[in-house]
Chain A
Amino acid sequence: GIQVEQSPPDLILQEGANSTLRCNFSDSVNNLQWFHQNPWGQLINLFYIPSGTKQNGRLSATTVATERYSLLYISSSQTTDSGVYFCAASLTGANSKLTFGKGITLSVRP
């Protein structure tokens, strides 16, 4: 099956700083999603982005499918951005099950 790797595993930021989270995947994908898991355990959809670039407020994401990676950018970070960020992907031509990376734990300090 597909392998999904995220880096770095942990990130500590001062409020107001910018950051880039990376997701590498091992095969062609027809679905790539970024999620934020908040301290209460909820998985919040951030982006559905199998290719291209999207922006939503202070967050943006880019997936370069031909090079098998995706990047999540967080600008002007806030303490509420803290939590775990997951990348998940599913293979092209297969069923839609998502394979998740191990996550990136982000702590934003005030």
Chain B
Amino acid sequence: DSGVTQTPKHLITATGQRVTLRCSPRSGDLSVYWYQQSLDQGLQFLIQYYNGEERAKGNILERFSAQQFPDLHSELNLSSLELGDSALYFCASGGLGETQYFGPGTRLLVL
């Protein structure tokens, strides 16, 4: 158990819909990272928050957004979903330049 929790574990939805993925970091970690794992793109960095502020952006689509709340949990919002958004979404937490610990992931299926 990494100490990072993610909910829900699985999500099945339809094209055009909007979903929210939730992540609670390990106790004491200020950084939250979101990654997407798909068959064609592999594991890709999406976005990083540090103590409530956006710190870095990767290949995150404009239809996707995220935030980190004062209690340090984070949410990833995916809207106008397309079939190609089906993937495993991971949240990780850690300090800057330190080990990143990954949550169990949310498996999203868009039908």
Contact = CB atoms under 8 A, between A and B. Distances in A.
B97 A90 contact: yes
Contacts of B51: none
Contact of A103 (B42, B56, B92): B42
Interface band, chain A: 20 to 34
Contacts of B97: 30-31, 90, 96
Interface in A93-110: 95-100, 102-103
> Secondary structure at chain B's binding surface: helix, strand, loop or mixed?
strand
Contacts of A42: 102, 104-105
Given A41-B107, A48-B99, A97 B48 contact: yes
B55 interface: yes
Q: Which of B42, B88, B96, B100 is the most central at the interface, judged by chain A CB atoms within 10 Å of its CB?
A: B100
Interface in A66-101: 86, 88, 90, 95-100
Interface of B: 2, 31, 33, 35, 42-45, 48, 55-56, 58, 88, 90, 92, 94, 96-102, 104-105, 107
Given A31-B97, A100-B43, 20 more contacts: A30-B97, A31-B98, A35-B102, A41-B88, A42-B104, A48-B98, A88-B43, A90-B97, A95-B48, A95-B56, A96-B31, A96-B94, A96-B100, A97-B33, A97-B45, A97-B48, A97-B56, A98-B33, A98-B35, A100-B44
